[in-house]
Homo-oligomer: A and B are copies of this chain.
Amino acid sequence: MDVELVIAQASLALRERGERLTGPRRAVLAVLAASPGHLSAEQVFDGVSAVAPGVHRASVYRSLEALTAAGLVSHVHVGHQGARYHLADAGRNHLHASCQRCGVVIDLAPDALDAVAADLTANHGFRLDPSHVALSGICRECLKAM
């Protein structure tokens, strides 16, 4: 993911909301853009600290919150672990599954839960937000090791 592009988009999106693109927020975006995966808040904090020492942990949380509200970042809840963060997809967000043994998060196709979503709407009037929580199970590697 191109950091420059992400930051340019962020500047616009934030300004539209009367907010600002600051050092800590820039660093958070850079860390997320540089990472292939899904980072915990602590991992984002570590990454930010490497790039911009002195940024406080609380600012990382507040930055993630602001960037989420602006539609630039998404988070996924993973079982009993904390949330994981990643840049929001341009269009539709992909889905996630996580291993309850080793914690790894794998990406799934955006349409993997479409049938379930339709079923929930029809039978329960419930609107599914499929990308907001990770499905839980055991990954390939852990299955081998058991």
Q: Which residue numbers of A lie inside 8 Å of B, CB to CB?
A: 77, 79-80, 83, 97, 99-100, 106, 108, 112-113, 115-116, 119-120, 124-130, 132-140, 143
Contacts and interface: CB of A to CB of B under 8 A. Distances in A.
Interface of A is mostly: mixed
A112 B113 CA distance: 10
A80 to B, nearest CB: 6
Contact of A128 (B119, B125, B128, B137): B137
> Could you say how many copies of this chain the assembly holds?
2
A126 B139 contact: yes
Given A116-B135, A120-B137, A100 B129 contact: yes
A100 B120 CA distance: 15
